[in-house]
Structure 1
């Protein structure tokens, strides 16, 4: 077996151990849908601290990390547990108590920063920010249109996460990645980050990827390592495998002693340990 053919599959614990304290991490998915939640919980189990979380629409992931005291900074757009549950309470508490530093974005401005990194330029234009307080809060600059057809446009500094971590439907052992349904912002995250780690529902053959290359979201040469964790997006959804476990989310949101540990103990990666 050549290096190119070698499997990149390792355990969830080994994959998570590659992320040191203080890392900046772009987390895939959106709200309660196809987030790398098994990875997030393993960060907590391993006692990770001082993390910088980057995501356009986080919710459960940033909330549970703030609840565990693992976050020092976040760069995020809208943050919520979705319509059923409203705002993310433990994240909100961390911001209000100034336990974390918040760089507030619109989803589009965060995407612009990631695109700048992916495209190898120092900044990226972003429309729709005039009239908002975000440019002043973040010190974003505006440039005049050099072609003279418009006014000024704000430009967002590049955002280069140390890691992009995404949860996907299928991988090959070499590291090719498939997502069914919307990919949210996973594509641009993986192009912007220094290193890419993947959690997957299942492994399929390299031949299956070769037969339909147009379905590959991230090619194997961009992926450092994979952990296979069926159900790893719990309590969120991973279409078409499973829906949101609303009862589990509601139980997690209870603000009482022992709730966080009970939630961690109920996760699929504990009940059915991930395999390498």
Structure 2
């Protein structure tokens, strides 16, 4: 995969990183619900008034809700969508689906993962169990094939899902663009392998020695990363273990309806309150 960037040019501002996402792109967003999502970049897409994005994620919440609320997203392939137990369903996402403003291809987390795996492996489809009896297969036109090894069983196969861009929020990145995530990586690994390009938002820059001495900690190698931005607390109002937890009052404030409440939320974001975006 060619990044199109010289290695020394990979670090950019969050504004420049978001500018690499064109209108109409399909974008896979890392993290899960309110945990380690690339929310600083999502907010910057809103500020830059991006349009007609397709969002791909197994368990989105705040991110897709914000993009629907601001009119940035018009299509989605997603599994469960919620603001988690404290807040219930994602209200602006739900309104967008009900009104037809968002065209939804509904998935189970497993089926979306199967489609991403197919793209990562360079094959047209991926078998997926657990779909028999679900309406999802009929709604999406998924095909079922017989076991070619003669057991008499059949399995649904999910077509490949190849996002234009995967955006990952990481704990650390080094100067070359190697990416490290602490704790669970959710579906970030398979997203990065399935997508045509990878953009990264990181909490901090780590020394190259961390990656050369412990290569097993590298979730995404540098040659797959087009560009990255360093934004401390970039997953706010969500968590990024072990650096910070969910900011529950900030999520509650976000859920207040109205343009003034939305603008106040954007203005309160960590990347917005510093004088110069980094």
Q: TM-score, length-normalised on structure 2?
A: 0.96
Task: Name which of structure 1's ranges 99-108 and 254-263 shifts more when overlaid on structure 2.
Answer: 254-263
Q: Name the count of aligned residue pairs.
A: 274
| RMSD of aligned residue pairs (Cα, Å) | 1.2
- 2:10 is aligned with 1:14: no
Report the equivalent of 2:66.
64
Aligned to 2:87: 85
Are 1:124 and 2:126 an aligned pair? yes
Aligned residue for 2:224?
Answer: 222
- 2:212 is paired with a residue whose SS is helix
Does structure 1 retain, via aligned residues, the 8 Å contact 2:271–2:277?
Answer: no
Give the C-alpha shift of residue 275 in structure 1: 5.3
CA contact under 8 A between 2:178 and 2:220: conserved in structure 1? yes
| 1:78-137 C-alpha deviation (Å, 9 max, x unpaired) | 000000000000000000011110000000000000000000000000000000000000
Q: Which residue of 2 aligns with 1:137?
A: 139
Q: Distance in 1 between matches of 2:24 and 2:127?
A: 28
CA distance in 1, matches of 2:40, 2:266: 9
Task: State the partner residue of 2:266.
Answer: 264
Instruction: Give me the whole-angstrom Cα distance separating, in 2, the residues matched to 1:203 and 1:211.
Output: 16
- How far did residue 257 of structure 1 move? 3.7
The correspondence of residues 89-238 of structure 1 with structure 2, limited to 5 A, is: 89-149=91-151, 151-238=153-240
- SS for the counterpart of 1:258 is helix
For residues 53 and 228 of structure 1, the distance between their equivalents in structure 2, rounded to whole angstroms, comes to 23
Offset at residue 207 of structure 1 (A): 1.6
CA distance in 2, matches of 1:222, 1:257: 38
Q: Is the Cα–Cα contact under 8 Å of residues 126 and 153 in structure 1 kept in the other structure?
A: yes
- Native 8 Å contact 2:15 2:277 kept in 1: no
Give CA deviations for 1:49-77 in whole Å, capped at 9, x if unaligned.
10000000000000000000111100000
